[in-house]
Amino acid sequence: MAKKITVFFIILSAFITIAATIGFAVIKQNNQQQLLGLQRQLASMSESLQQQQDELIQQQQQLEQAQQNYESEKQRADRLQSDIDTLREKNADKKICFLTFDDGPSKNTPKILDILQRYNIKATFFVIGRGETKYMKNIVDAGHAIGLHSYTHDFSQIYQNETAYFEDLQKLSDLVREKTGVTTTLLRFPGGSSNIASKKYCSGIMTTLAKSVEQKGYTYFDWNCDSHDADSTTVPASEIINGIKREAGPKHLTVLMHDAGTKTSTVEALPAVIEYLQQQGYSFQKLNKIVKPYHHRINN
Ligand SMILES: [Zn+2]
């Protein structure tokens, strides 16, 4: 009996040993698989982190480059502004006259160009979209400045809102480029920036436009010497000359005249106007982006 019991315990202990060995082996294998899975996850996380880091480094390099470019462009802009200021200071004490002709081109344009050539003078033409647009090229070819006035010159259309104004302006800009090859950013508002007629179509429109044209890179010019040639359809030449004499005086004189077809007396008065201003010590220049523009007080 005792022998049987002993054999039984031997078999039982052998069985327990085998079962335990198998059990441990299974647990060990499971743990290893989990470990491998974790290792794979870690490896993939580390790879994605590395990628993000690389992207960040690249972005940082791009940012540094952009900052360098900005600094150098800013230095260039500052130098340019300082050159402009120096030039303006140099010109501040000189008597300079800017003759400007609005509302052309017309049949009078070639006559005006002939007179300017005779006196070897450069002037500025703020053109519109109708009339003898073929003469735009003659203006540019003769070395004068061309500026934008308005395609339609219709206050009820252009001054109803900002969008309408810029649509009209773009149409004229395209026409000038097509006729002359020049893209101009010189500008004169119909009626000047001080006009109050625009109030009828949109309150505050001139305040808005004066800001937005400059934001878009245009420079607008008003005048400080009115020839009064637009006071009626055809003003006698003597009155135009007297008007100039009354208002000429400021060192920098921007003279408003008109190049519309009806303004035959402007052509007639022009030689006397030029000679009078020359006697007063003025030299003549065309307008450009460096000239400090004369601006009216805005009333709408
Ligand atoms: Zn006009």
Cα of 272 vs centre of ligand 1, distance in Å, is 23
Cα of 256 vs centre of ligand 1, distance in Å, is 10
- CA–CA distance, 226 with 239 (Å, rounded to integer): 11
The pLDDT score that the predictor gives to residue 174 is: 98
Cα of 147 vs centre of ligand 1, distance in Å, is 12
Cα of 282 vs centre of ligand 1, distance in Å, is 25
Cα of 3 vs centre of ligand 1, distance in Å, is 132
Cα of 66 vs centre of ligand 1, distance in Å, is 44
Cα of 121 vs centre of ligand 1, distance in Å, is 22
DSSP state at residue 155: H
Strand blocks (E) in the chain: 96-104, 124-128, 145-150, 186-187, 219-220, 225-226, 252-258, 283-284
Cα of 280 vs centre of ligand 1, distance in Å, is 27
The pLDDT score that the predictor gives to residue 15 is: 67
Cα of 85 vs centre of ligand 1, distance in Å, is 31
Q: How many helices (H) and strands (E) does the chain have?
A: 8, 8
Cα of 128 vs centre of ligand 1, distance in Å, is 8
Cα of 142 vs centre of ligand 1, distance in Å, is 22
- How far does Cα 240 stand from its chain's mean position? 36
Digit-coded pLDDT (tens) for 130-185: 999 999 999 999 999 999 999 999 999 999 999 999 999 999 999 999 999 999 99
Cα of 250 vs centre of ligand 1, distance in Å, is 23
Cα of 117 vs centre of ligand 1, distance in Å, is 24
Digit-coded pLDDT (tens) for 34-47: 888 888 888 888 88
Residues 235, 238, 241: CA angle, nearest 5 degrees: 95
The pLDDT score that the predictor gives to residue 18 is: 72
Cα of 103 vs centre of ligand 1, distance in Å, is 5
Cα of 190 vs centre of ligand 1, distance in Å, is 5
Digit-coded pLDDT (tens) for 190-223: 999 999 999 999 999 999 999 999 999 999 999 9
Residue range 218-230: average pLDDT? 96
User: Is 140 within 8 Å of 161 (Cβ atoms)?
Assistant: no
Residue range 71-98: average pLDDT? 87
Cα of 253 vs centre of ligand 1, distance in Å, is 19
Cα of 292 vs centre of ligand 1, distance in Å, is 21
Cα of 264 vs centre of ligand 1, distance in Å, is 16
Arithmetic mean of pLDDT over the chain: 92
Cα of 189 vs centre of ligand 1, distance in Å, is 8
In this structure, how many other beta carbons lie within 10 angstroms of the beta carbon of residue 39?
A: 10
The pLDDT score that the predictor gives to residue 268 is: 97
Cα of 262 vs centre of ligand 1, distance in Å, is 13
In this structure, how many other beta carbons lie within 10 angstroms of the beta carbon of residue 52?
A: 10
